[in-house]
Amino acid sequence: MPVDLPVGDHAAFLWMAVATHALVGYTLGKVLVDEPAWGLLGGVAADLDLLFPLAWQPPLVHRGVTHTVLAAALLTLLVARWRRSAGLAVGTAYASQLAIDATTPAGIPLLYPITTARVGVELGGHSRSATVLLWAGCLAALYRWQ
């Protein structure tokens, strides 16, 4: 994502990114364990950090502590204690968000608090073409497993 987007364009970008994570999570939850709502939750859980005030400092920033294996594991285990299939949906969908976000230039602090190093490869995970492919794949899977 270019860093010089106007505020309105940046907000639209964020909404589309969150919607993509929601759809991917929903699809994984539906296809894997018939728990689409839990998949949706797992798909967007890491982006709850968008609600952190902008004045806060790392790791309480976007793509900070919520974009880690630790956060994913804690939420997954919490939900799995209640219902195993829901935990599987949450964990898989959460992992999908981390994987997608790791394909962007900013990467993610995957192993925080062990290290603050950001992990990622530039594959354009939130580019227009990648978003179209993710949406098409999800919609095809949902059609197939309806």
pLDDT value of position 2: 41
Under a CB-based contact definition with an 8 Å cutoff, are residues 63 and 106 in contact?
Answer: yes
pLDDT tens-digit readout, 100-134: 999 998 999 999 999 999 999 988 888 899 999 99
Q: What SS3 state is found at 90?
A: helix
Domain residue extents for the chain = 20-144
pLDDT tens-digit readout, 28-69: 999 999 999 999 999 999 999 999 998 899 899 999 999 999
Q: Is 85 exposed, middle or buried (0-12, 13-18, 19+ CB in 10 A)?
A: middle
Q: End-to-end CA distance of the chain, in Å?
A: 34
Query: Tokens at residue 76, please?
Result: 């997954």
